[in-house]
Chains A and B, each alone.
Chain A
């Protein structure tokens, strides 16, 4: 805990320090948020406090896909209209939100909660890979869509999963790489362009 004293009032100090620990929040922003809460009505502050409490008490990880949920199994795993033979493997729960917002994927998910990142001390044992193999072992899975982030760590994790499940009778796919919508070709980097050319599609 930081020993900095932001204010002579201890509760204010405590809250500033708590905000400061959150990602992306510096000491100034923490101070601004705290003083905003001081001016907030008691009812609004209670609503916020209850929302945080509920978050910690009611949000759980789905025992099947490891996505965050308030029920177990989560609503996606329970949804019988979805195709449970296609599993989309993502790095973290926010990726599920992003893919769901595209409304095109009708399969189910598996959240790894990280990627293989040796420089952060994260190896294959530290992410939910064994559970993925267990799910495949249970049968019924026909396709694995590897949707890790398009960077070195994401690609290495994809390669590791590919090696891990190679013995299963599975279709292994990964998200297409290429140019983003709205981007100019002239600004594309070497890797993106080369992957876009590799993954070109026949028209008509």
Chain B
């Protein structure tokens, strides 16, 4: 007799896409299997017993039946609603950007518990954070690190020499800071991917990359610097993933 194969996973719903008559393709970041896509049948009908469990930012325990195309959702239980931002539009726009960013970086079938925990942490503390841009910078740099795209901020990404106390450059192609000496040797065609960066911003990027959120909060940081740093990292991310995130256009990095 043919045995039905099921699998149970813990994850956070990133988003869902309507498909067919009343179904949804649900994209989840899971603890066990990285990005996971599954089909939830009939969930757009008001009488569906699963629909309400599969909203974005819900941490769920999900059981799926493995099928030829997409696994089919058989059962879902809510572990917790990590954030309910839908009545705060700027926060909603921000968290949708975070979700899209995560979806672009994580791969299917690639377990990364640290990324899962990072996303969960950001969702949990988001509403209580005073400086949302700081949290966004923290999240983006940590995500880049965990995915192997963390920018080089301690030495020159070209010559590997220790950086002098002077303003530097940030090169997307080089993946980090470029010292003024190396900058003179870089071809003009690459200039559109290089930005000037002052010491204050480098320090802020380093702290955001290295420190924990609790420690980061103990530093006094200028919100203008956070906005500038965020813009650099956002452009770097666009360069890394080779496309502009759709939700990025609705964010204002200078104030929120």
Contacts and interface: CB of A to CB of B under 8 A. Distances in A.
A183 B250 CA distance: 38
Nearest to A189: B52
A118 interface: yes
A191 B88 contact: no
A24 interface: yes
Contacts of B181: none
A187 B246 CA distance: 35
B246 A119 contact: yes
A121 interface: yes
A191 B247 CA distance: 25
Interface string A146-180: 00000111011011100100000000000000001
Interface size class of A (residues with CB under 8 A): 20 to 34
Task: Name the residue in B49, B52, B81, B96 with the highest tally of chain A Cβ atoms < 10 Å from its Cβ.
Answer: B52
Given A152-B92, A155-B86, A192 B52 contact: yes
Nearest to B57: A152
Contact of A121 (B58, B86, B246): B246
A39 interface: no
Contact of A155 (B50, B52, B78, B87): B87
A116 B89 contact: yes
Nearest to B91: A156
Contact of B89 (A160, A183, A191, A192): A160
Nearest to B20: A24
A123 B89 contact: no
Contact of A159 (B50, B87, B249, B250): B87
B40 to A, nearest CB: 12
Contacts of A160: 89
Contact of A191 (B20, B46, B49, B81): B81
Nearest to B45: A180
B101 to A, nearest CB: 10
A159 B52 contact: no
A182 interface: yes
A99 to B, nearest CB: 13
B55 interface: yes
B56 interface: yes
Contacts, number: 74
B21 A118 contact: no
B55 A123 contact: no
A121 B52 contact: no
Nearest to A190: B78
Given A152-B56, A182-B47, A190-B78, A120 B89 contact: no
A120 B103 CA distance: 13
B209 to A, nearest CB: 26
A188 interface: yes
Interface in B117-172: none
A95 to B, nearest CB: 13
Given A152-B56, A152-B57, A152-B92, A118 B51 contact: no
Contacts of A121: 246-247, 249
Given A183-B49, A189-B51, A192-B52, A118 B247 contact: yes
A140 B118 CA distance: 50
B220 to A, nearest CB: 31
B93 interface: yes
Contacts of A118: 92-93, 96-97, 100, 246-247, 250
B134 to A, nearest CB: 21
B53 interface: yes
B201 interface: no
B99 interface: yes
Interface in B37-88: 46-47, 49-53, 55-58, 78, 81, 85-88
Closest 3 CB pairs of A and B: A189-B52, A155-B86, A118-B247
12 contacts: A118-B96, A119-B246, A119-B247, A123-B249, A153-B86, A159-B86, A159-B88, A159-B89, A163-B89, A181-B47, A189-B53, A191-B55
Given A121-B246, A159-B86, 5 more contacts: A118-B96, A119-B247, A123-B249, A152-B55, A189-B53
Interface of A: 24, 116, 118-121, 123, 151-153, 155-156, 158-160, 163, 180-184, 187-192
